Amino acid sequence: MRSTLFRVAALATTHGVFVALMLPTVFAEPVAQTPVACELASPATRIICGDAAVSAHELSLRIRTVRTLGRSLPAADFFTLQRFLEKPPANDVLPAAQLDSLKNDVAVKLLACEHLPDDFSRRFIAMASNDALGPVWQNYTLQLLDSLWLRDERPETRHEIIKTLTAATCDTRPTISGVALLTLSRLVEKECASTGNASPIGASPQPVPSRSELGALALAVLQRKEAPSQDKVTALAVASECGDTCAPAVLSLARKWASNKTLPGMQRITAFSVLGRHGDTRDLPILETERNSTDFRLKKASRAAIIKIQTLNRKP
């Protein structure tokens, strides 16, 4: 049995009736690969998927029903819910944002099941590259790929996860490249924690990038003119944790951002944080310019960075 490690994000809902699963048969062995007719799915699953007309517009009921799902699902329910994850936004009555949030809750539940079908990983990874599902759902999927990594130890699955995340760092739609970098960063941290050092891409059955390779991907996002500012913020933060190889480029860019008052606030705040952790006394004049800023966020970030540099007395 593959090990399970996941985090369920609780979602507050209004009061209502909980719907219990009706089908008694659960699979004690890995799910068969033969497609199962969705008509055999339980009433609970049909409510979640919006197939029951009375529930289609009731987001809170559909969310509460997801929370009743256990870790052993009937095959018909699992396949129906898996197909629901692949539903384009236009095919559901819920607004896209609500549908994507609901699908995220369903995905977390499926990833927590005791057994996953052999083709589940392939189909799940494919959603991250399926533009028809929309960028928000692709974002959710990318966030969950490290959870899938823990559930499926097959080398071919892990290779596809890294390949998909690496490709997503080149996406210029808002949040996509940043989320891909964050997910890769979590995988690198997990690999370092378990082995003491991350292996380079393609060097092992667990092709986690090294810190320097992750840093190179983050720097590529920073150098891409089309990359959204929020993704550049994430990229600078990730690159700043990737060791000495990235340090010169990271510090150079952080200093440019810190001194450019025309940039969005979050870019400068991130730059202040990087200077506080990796800068030296040469950066104090830049930080002092915002020490008494009317923008509380800039003032707080600059003062924190100044204290760190002065406390450690870091010199060039």
pLDDT 10s digits, 225-284: 999 999 999 999 999 999 888 999 999 999 999 999 999 999 999 999 999 999 999 999
Question: Would you say 191 and 210 are in contact if contact means Cβ atoms under 8 Å apart?
Answer: no
Residues 173-180, mean pLDDT to the nearest whole number: 97
216 has a pLDDT exceeding 50: yes
pLDDT of residue 300: 96
Between residues 135 and 199, which one has the greater pLDDT? 135
Least confident of 64-73, 162-171, 184-193, 198-207: 198-207
pLDDT band at 313 (very low <50, low <70, confident <90, very high): confident
Task: Please provide the average confidence, as pLDDT, over all residues in the chain.
Answer: 84
56 has a pLDDT exceeding 50: yes
pLDDT band at 193 (very low <50, low <70, confident <90, very high): confident
pLDDT of residue 38: 59
Domains of the chain: 1-118 (no CATH), 155-245 (no CATH), 249-316 (1.25.10)
32 has a pLDDT exceeding 50: no
Least confident of 14-18, 68-72, 105-109, 131-135: 14-18
Enter the pTM of the model: 0.81
pLDDT band at 199 (very low <50, low <70, confident <90, very high): very low
pLDDT of residue 204: 44
The terminus-to-terminus CA distance of the chain in angstroms comes to 53
pLDDT of residue 257: 96
Residues 1-22, mean pLDDT to the nearest whole number: 31
pLDDT band at 52 (very low <50, low <70, confident <90, very high): low
Backbone angles phi, psi at 198, to 5 degrees: -80, 145
Q: Name the most confidently modeled range: 7-11, 146-150, 189-193.
A: 146-150
pLDDT 10s digits, 95-145: 999 999 999 999 999 999 999 999 999 999 999 999 999 999 999 999 999
pLDDT of residue 24: 31
3 has a pLDDT exceeding 70: no
Percent of the chain predicted with pLDDT > 70: 82
